[in-house]
């Protein structure tokens, strides 16, 4: 979860010279910051440095990274008529820089660890595109589900089509796993999750695998991270088996997750990012208990969401020490 970032001084040095999206859009810089945590820590995989909002950018919306605020879309979608503002991009051109960064990073890694590509999920991206940024309620985006259900599905399908091409391009460029971030899953009840999230998550997995097969490219494992999804929604996603791995946020009890979701799915997660402010001894202990509770079979140790910007480097070291000591 966000391996590279502001908690690393070497990342801060890069950002002092380049704005956020310049780093994303310059393959050499994206590769450089992707490798920073790999060079510093004993990690088992690498995730390409990019941002989920490169898709709205490619679809014609302006995205800015405002200091102290985060991503801002100054001209969000105000209503269904604004769908006409969106374009269906040629991903191989509009997002070529991501593919180039992946290829360059694969060469630099030289087999040391696998490289993960990723995307935001349709509902999560729709939320940003309508809200104009992050939101504590997602009220504008959620209101579309009730006021404009038909247009909502049209928008989600447009986003899905771009995501499918984007993920296939990432695999062709060298990504060895794919992760789909449904970061706004906690705003949907079970019925809404099924209709507006799961429907498109399933389609993404099926279409990506189909296109890879048609291109004679081996499938890669796929991870879904439906942050905040209820246990019932997690069951729906798990039983469908569209994704080999389900990521869990920090609110989910590992023992209950294993009990409810079964032993045949790989789970990822789920230490609270704020637990990284504990003492080093406590972090080691928490990491060990987390691994023990999940079990070492079909499990990927991780945080339950992105590492926070002011997390001490010593905390990351303690977390990794705890995980590897079990």
User: pLDDT, tens digit, for every residue of 42-56?
Assistant: 999 999 999 999 999
Residue listed under structure tokens 């296109």 = 211
**Contact (Cβ atoms closer than 8 angstroms) between residue 67 and residue 124:** no
In 3D, which of 164, 154, 234 has the Cα closest to residue 194?
234
User: pLDDT, tens digit, for every residue of 274-321?
Assistant: 999 999 999 999 999 999 999 999 999 999 999 999 999 999 999 999
Say whether 51 is catalytic. yes
Say whether 128 is catalytic. yes
In 3D, which of 103, 123, 124, 117 has the Cα closest to residue 31?
103
Selected catalytic residue, list 7, 106, 128, 142: 128
Q: What tokens does 242 get?
A: 């569209």
- Looking at the predicted structure, is the pLDDT value of residue 183 above 80? yes
Selected catalytic residue, list 6, 40, 209, 258: 6
Selected catalytic residue, list 7, 51, 243, 299: 51
* Average pLDDT over every residue of 244-271: 97
User: pLDDT, tens digit, for every residue of 7-52?
Assistant: 999 999 999 999 999 999 999 999 999 999 999 999 999 999 999 9
Q: How far apart are CA 301 and CA 247, in angstroms?
A: 10
Task: Judge if pTM exceeds 0.95.
Answer: yes
Say whether 100 is catalytic. no
Q: How far apart are CA 120 and CA 182, in angstroms?
A: 6
**Contact (Cβ atoms closer than 8 angstroms) between residue 222 and residue 265:** no
* Average pLDDT over every residue of 131-153: 98
Say whether 277 is catalytic. no
Q: How far apart are CA 195 and CA 284, in angstroms?
A: 40
Query: Domains in the chain, ordered, with CATH?
Result: 9-247 (3.20.20.210)
- Looking at the predicted structure, is the pLDDT value of residue 231 above 90? yes
* Average pLDDT over every residue of 180-203: 98
pLDDT at 248: 99
User: pLDDT, tens digit, for every residue of 64-84?
Assistant: 999 889 999 999 999 999 999
Banded pLDDT at 114 (limits 50, 70, 90): very high
Banded pLDDT at 1 (limits 50, 70, 90): low
- Looking at the predicted structure, is the pLDDT value of residue 2 above 80? no
Say whether 2 is catalytic. yes
What separation, in Å, do the N-terminal and C-terminal C-alpha atoms of the chain show?
Answer: 21
Strands 46-47 vs 115-120: parallel, antiparallel or unpaired:
parallel
């Amino acid at each position: 979860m966000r391996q590279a970032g502001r908690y690393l001084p070497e990342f801060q040095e890069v950002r002092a010279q380049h704005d956020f999206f310049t780093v994303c859009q310059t393959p050499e810089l994206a590769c450089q910051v992707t490798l920073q945590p790999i060079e510093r820590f004993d990690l088992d995989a690498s995730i390409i440095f990019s941002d989920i909002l490169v898709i709205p950018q490619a679809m014609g919306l302006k995205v800015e990274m405002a200091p102290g605020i985060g991503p801002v879309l100054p001209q969000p979608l105000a209503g269904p008529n604004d769908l006409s503002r969106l374009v269906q991009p040629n991903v191989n051109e509009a997002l070529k820089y991501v593919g180039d960064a992946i290829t360059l990073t694969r060469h630099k890694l030289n087999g040391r660890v696998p490289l993960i590509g990723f995307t935001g999920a349709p509902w999560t991206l729709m939320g940003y595109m309508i809200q104009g940024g992050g939101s504590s309620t997602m009220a504008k985006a959620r209101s579309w589900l009730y006021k404009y259900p038909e247009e909502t599905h049209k928008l989600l399908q447009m986003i899905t089509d771009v995501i499918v091409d984007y993920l296939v391009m990432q695999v062709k460029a060298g990504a060895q796993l794919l992760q789909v971030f449904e970061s706004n899953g906690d705003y949907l009840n079970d019925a809404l999750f099924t209709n507006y999230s799961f429907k498109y998550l399933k389609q993404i997995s099926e279409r990506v695998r189909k296109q890879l097969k048609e291109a004679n490219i081996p499938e890669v494992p796929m991870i879904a991270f439906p942050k905040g999804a209820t246990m019932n929604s997690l069951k729906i996603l798990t039983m469908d088996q569209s994704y080999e791995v389900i990521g869990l946020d920090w609110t989910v009890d590992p023992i209950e997750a294993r009990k409810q979701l079964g032993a045949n799915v790989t789970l990822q997660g789920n230490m609270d990012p704020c637990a990284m402010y504990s003492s080093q001894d406590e972090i080691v202990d928490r990491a060990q208990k987390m691994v023990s509770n999940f079990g070492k079979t079909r499990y990927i140790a991780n945080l339950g969401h992105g590492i926070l910007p002011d997390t001490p480097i010593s905390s990351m070291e303690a977390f990794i020490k705890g995980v590897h000591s079990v």
